[in-house]
Structures are given as C-alpha cells and as structure tokens.
Amino acid sequence: MTATSRLERVLNSGRFAVTAELNPPDSADPESVYERAIVLAEVCDGINATDASGAHVHMSSVGVCALLTRAGYEPVMQVSCRDRNRIAVQGDLLGAAAMGVRNVLCLTGDGVETGDHPDAKPVFDLDSVTLLKTARSMCEQSRFMSGRELDVPPRFFLGAAANPFVPPLEFRPHRLAKKVRAGADFIQTQFCFDVPLLQQFMQAVRDLGLAEKVFILAGVGPIRSARAGEWMRTNVPGVHIPDAVIARLNGVPTDRQAAEGKRLCVEIIQQVREIPGVSGVHVMAYRQEETVAEIIHEAGLLPRAGRGRRGREQTRRVVATSFHTR
C-alpha cells in the first residue's frame, strides 16, 4: 500500500499536470466507461470519476474507479459528503484503496435540490474539511474516526476543491488554508473564465505561504455557445462567467461559437500556466472527451506519459473479458 500515484509523481517532479473529468454514464455497460477513458488517458495524468455531480444520478464514482483501475488507468475518485454518512464514507475509502485508487478528491457536494431527485434526504454527516481530516487520519494514523485501528492503512494523495471566483473573494484563500491544514495535497478549482480573478486569488495564496504546501490545478473548460454560457452562469452553482466572454461568443456566427469557445479555453490554459503557484489544469467538458483531447493538444500540453496504443489494446481486452464473464 506504499505506492504513490502517477499524478502525485508528476506534480512532485515539477511538471505541469493535466487532469480531466470522465462524466459517468447512465448505463450498466462497462464499455461506455472505457470508450471515454481511452481518449482521456492518452492526454491526462489523472481521470476524475465524478460522484453524482449536481446531485444527478449516474454510475457511482467507486464503480467507475473499479473499471478504470482494472484497465490500468489513473483515477481520481471524487467523494461527496451529500449522500453518505461517516460509516459509508470510510468503507468506500478502504474499498477504493484495495482496488488501487491512489487519488481522492474530497467534496461537500451540491444540495439535492439542484439535481434530479430533489426529494432525496441529504446526509452531510461530514463536510469536505472533516472528510479530509478523516482520510488523512486513516492514512497516517491507521485509525477510523471511532479510534479503532486499521489492520492495513490506505495510501492516498488527497485533494479538495476551491472556488476563487465567487464572493466573498477575500475569504477564499483562507478557506483554502483550512483545507490544506486538514490534509489536502492538491486542489482543483471551479471553472476559470476570469483570469484576473485567478491571478488575484493566487497572489493571496502566495502571500499566505500556501503555494509551497499544496498543488493547485486551475479548472478550465470550453463553452459550446453564448446560450450555453448564459445557462451555465445562471443555473450551475458557483460558476462565474464574465459578460466579456458571452460577448465574445456572441460576436461570431452561431455555427462557429463552439470553435470559439474551444479557442478561448486554450487561451485561458496558456495564461494560467504562467501564473506562479499554478501547478496544472483540470479540464471539464460534459461528455466531450474528444474536445478535451483537442484542447490539451492545442494548448501545447503534449506529449505526456500517456498509455497510447498499448492502453487501447489493453482496454479492449478488459472490455472483452467483462462481457465474457457477465
């Protein structure tokens, strides 16, 4: 259980890291996971398996991670406190470690009212900070929250989320400091469409001495159209999109807005890469894996130590075995 994650090794080496989200399918077919993972694994250092993001039901994060580790990919398992109490969370962490998961992103989770089951009973027994402390204690002290000892502790590279783009802006670096004290090794931020705000946040992060204590990956992603951008900033909690971005998209014909949104994402990556203390990017594009790969290529972030053709062949064998044993 002492092996480190590839993402951890990349960040510790000083290389600019790239992670991306694999949006889980509404399906029990493992091939639907592998088809998306193949594209991302060739351009990323880690693949985030989201955990019912936006409080919408999909294949579970732990299930996606089981499939990814089986194929030899590098998952980042997202764990939301919304749907599990401390008993279930700690059990999931142990199970994930046993499957070979080495990266865990600790999240409080969106409220159930934002999703497709608004009548569900939210749990929130823990929040992201207490989850970080719990996972860190399991790793370093080999104990559950109850104090009971673990026979073999997990080994996790622990992450958390940050949002530098919503008020109160002056509070955000101090919230980050709390997560670092709780045990965060890396941070993935909310979408960055406002580089000056990220620069302001990172200045405060450096002033607090946090840039030497945690790796920060700036969240980025393409906007398909001006209409999509308007919808995102109105309906997705925590997303800040400046008027200038919407105006830029509106400034080109409708059939060219997706390409313009991708071009904007590439420009943002190139800008945030120059900000001191930013150690990588986390690319988010809902079910647009091919677009993610194109963005990473066009931003000049390749080559990476990806799986390449061997990864594709191994994945096909894993898929074939999955169907044979069903």
Q: In terms of C-beta distances under 8 Å and separation of at least 24 residues, what long-range contacts does 306-315 make, across chains too?
A: 306/41, 306/42, 306/43, 306/44, 307/41, 307/42, 307/72, 307/73, 308/42, 311/38, 311/41, 311/42, 311/71, 311/72, 311/73, 312/38, 314/71, 314/72, 315/34, 315/37, 315/38, 315/71
Residue 233 within a domain: no
Number of structural domains the chain divides into: 1
| Confidence at residue 113, expressed as pLDDT on a 0 to 100 scale | 86
Is residue 301 within 8 Å of residue 48, measured between CB atoms? no
49 residue type, one letter? A
Residue 239 within a domain: no
| Confidence at residue 269, expressed as pLDDT on a 0 to 100 scale | 98
Distances in whole angstroms, Cα of residue 212 to Cα of each of 12, 143, 216: 11, 28, 10
Q: What is the pLDDT of residues 265-282, one digit of tens each?
A: 999 999 999 999 999 999
CA angle, corner 17, sides to 293 and 236, nearest 5? 65
Extract the residue ranges of the chain whose pLDDT is less than 70.
1-3, 305-326
Residue 228 within a domain: no
Residue 16 within a domain: yes
| Confidence at residue 323, expressed as pLDDT on a 0 to 100 scale | 44
| Confidence at residue 3, expressed as pLDDT on a 0 to 100 scale | 59
What is the distance, to the nearest Å, from the Cα of residue 41 to the centroid of all Cα atoms in its chain?
A: 14
Residue 67 within a domain: yes
Provide the whole-model pTM. Answer: 0.92
Residue 265 within a domain: no
Residue 109 within a domain: yes
Residue 242 within a domain: no
| Confidence at residue 79, expressed as pLDDT on a 0 to 100 scale | 97
The CATH number of the domain holding residue 137 is: 3.20.20.220
Distances in whole angstroms, Cα of residue 32 to Cα of each of 8, 17, 37, 319: 27, 26, 9, 10
| Confidence at residue 325, expressed as pLDDT on a 0 to 100 scale | 46
DSSP 187-218: EEEEE---HHHHHHHHHHHHHTT-TTT-EEEE
Residue-range definition of the domain harbouring residue 126 = 6-222+277-321
| Confidence at residue 52, expressed as pLDDT on a 0 to 100 scale | 85
